[in-house]
Amino acid sequence: MASAAPGPRGLRWALGPLGLCWALLGPAAATTATNIVLLLMDDMGWGDLGAFGEPSKETPNLDQMAAEGMLFLDFYTASPLCSPSRAALLTGRLPVRNGFYTTNGHARNAYTPQDIVGGIPDSELLLPELLKKAGYTNKIIGKWHLGHRPQFHPLRHGFDEWFGSPNCHFGPYNSSERPNIPVYRDWDMAGRYYEDFKIDLKTGESNLTQLYLQEALDFISKQQASQQPFFLYWAIDATHAPVYASKQFLGTSQRGLYGDAVREIDDSVGKILKHLQQLGISENTFVFFTSDNGAALISAPRQGGSNGPFLCGKQTTFEGGMREPAIAWWPGHIPAGGVSHQLGSVMDLFSTSLSLAALQPPSDRQIDGIDLLPVILQGKLIDRPIFYYRGNELMAVRAGLYKAHYWTWSNSWEEHSKGIDFCPGQSVDGVTTHTQEEHTYLPLLFHLGRDPGEKFPLSFASEEYQQAVQHISGLLQQHRATLVPGQPQLNVCDQAVMNWAPPGCEKLGKCLKAPESDPKKCSWPH
């Protein structure tokens, strides 16, 4: 595909009064709009930062960011796996609504490997598409993960620039059986992982984080010079196995290779924030740091992080799989040293970003994210539940300090017997079950204030249990009454759709011959 590719598809949105004025006056009128920087980590756990209690205290820049801004202690992803959580962030909608789930099995996690046929549907409105109407220039750096086929390209869904990859950096592969994952520069591929963008699996060395950092600094400088508001989505993946770090950071952490990657990310975030300050735009730039799901304990400790006091990790709907580190930073607006117990979600970043741009969320669909600005700027608490989905099943609901599990499952005995353990050293009888256990009529209830590790279910006979479950059951009924599941996008896989010949491969001599199409049901064991 040539670089001069067609623009994004037709857009439909609802504008607030200010947003309508900006749309009528044109981009030049929006120069005072707040810039938005979302820093989304990959498989980073709640317990990986010093500000959240990590004992080695190796994240001074992120800790300083927290000291100057607001720490969210009860912030959640929308799925315990990467692709659905990213789709939820960018649409403000639960994966079961936006189609990022599977019906190939009950309560199965699914994502976008390179043989997936589906991706983000055209019917979904993404945050950058909406921000463009307020004059924003939008860039994604790092992992997209919402589909790699041409129709799912991020520049067709509101982004103006991209440097990064459509998939995880797995590999290296034998190109006759499976192609290495491409890295894109805007519309066209710039090379492939392991071939042109090196990752040394033996040492863990790669300079990718440095490349992603420089991309961010250059973009911010360019936008500041042009006096146009910007949205930067910095979705880097160094903490996703296989973990990597640049040479100057290797061997510098007490935590091993994973800690090296975290230290480099911390250093990079510090440089991004300092750059905003040096350019004089920090007071006009809202920055939010979080992660796509909990730490992958199956890869720990060398290739995985820490979920602090919480149960299990990535792939599960226990707290360790879905509660995330989260920091908001906006000098001159957010009071320093703030700590919030607001129940937050990555989907709130959608609604909050629109609010910053004086835009209203789309009115023609259910939006699950809420505007966090009253929380961040005024210290308010908004009463709202958190829904814990795994694939097509609602596993648990949190309201206040109570969490009710309607289904429990870590993974199957078959997978567990292969050494795949999402809860290493954390088995809790009747909770971390290896068969799917339904608790619809007597949900397992935990008080997350007294028992953040979900080890001690409340007695079914207690008055506390009865009152909490009655309240949560009402919330659950309301949610189900409005739920219209989207068309599942993660059901079909086909080797023919892999990254054999991405746009721009001809110029680089990197086009590969695709096999015959053979679509099949994707297998999702977890």
Does the annotation place 186 within a ligand binding site? Answer: no
Closest CA to 260 of 58, 45, 55, 64: 58
**The residue to which tokens 């479950």 are assigned:** 469
pLDDT greater than 60 at residue 419: yes
Mean pLDDT along residues 261-269: 98
Contact, 489 vs 100, CB < 8 A?
A: yes
Question: Is 341 in contact with 446 (CB distance < 8 Å)?
Answer: no
**Active-site annotation holder among 106, 145, 405, 511:** 145
Q: Does the annotation list 368 as a binding residue?
A: no
Neighbours of 418 (CB within 10 A): 11
pLDDT tens per residue, range 206-254: 999 999 999 999 999 999 999 999 999 999 999 999 999 999 999 999 9
Q: What is the pLDDT of residues 5-30, one digit of tens each?
A: 444 443 334 334 333 333 333 333 33
Residues linked to residue 392 through DSSP beta bridges, in sequence order: none
Instruction: Report the alpha-carbon distance of residue 391 to residue 504 in Å, rounded.
Output: 34
Tokens at residue 294, please?
């909990």
Task: Give the per-residue pLDDT at 340.
Answer: 98
Q: Which of 297, 390, 291 is nearest to 345 (CA)?
A: 291
DSSP 339: E
Position 32 scores a pLDDT of: 76
Q: What is the CA radius of gyration of the chain?
A: 22
Phi and psi at residue 140, in whole multiples of 5°?
A: -110, 130
The chain-wide mean pLDDT, for the chain, equals 94
477: three-class secondary structure by DSSP: helix
Task: Given the residues 82, 312, 493, 505, select the one marked as catalytic.
Answer: 82
Pick from 311, 329, 309, 317: which is nearest to 293 by CA?
Answer: 317
Question: Is the per-residue pLDDT at 486 higher than 70?
Answer: yes
From CA 295, how far away is CA 309, in angstroms rounded?
12
Q: Is 168 annotated as a binding residue?
A: no
Closest CA to 385 of 461, 295, 480, 462: 480
Q: Give backbone dihedrals phi and psi of 502, rounded to 5 degrees, phi first.
A: -65, 160
Residue 451 marked as a ligand binder: no
Catalytic status, residue 82: yes
Map residue 507 onto helix, strand or coil: helix
491 marked among binding-site residues: no
DSSP, res 212: H
So what's the pLDDT on residue 145? 98
Give the model's confidence band at 413: pLDDT under 50 very low, under 70 low, under 90 confident, else very high: very high
Q: Degrees (nearest 5) of the Cα angle 427, 49, 63?
A: 155
Instruction: Decide: 313 and 43 in contact? Cβ < 8 Å.
Output: no
Residue 405 has pLDDT above 90, yes or no: yes
Burial of 6 (0-12, 13-18, 19+ CB in 10 A): exposed
Question: Residue 325 is inside which H or E element, if any?
Answer: strand 323-329
pLDDT per residue as tens digits for the range 453-474: 999 999 999 999 999 999 999 9
In the residue annotation, 169 being an active-site residue is answered as no
Query: Do the beta carbons of residue 475 and residue 100 sit within 8 Å?
Result: no
Flag whether pLDDT at 136 surpasses 60: yes
Mean pLDDT of 394-412: 98
Band (487; pLDDT cuts 50, 70, 90): very high
The answer to whether the CB of 145 falls within 8 A of the CB of 158 is no
Q: What's the pLDDT at 463?
A: 98
Residue 353 pLDDT exceeds 90: yes
Among 399, 390, 394, 479, CA closest to 446: 399
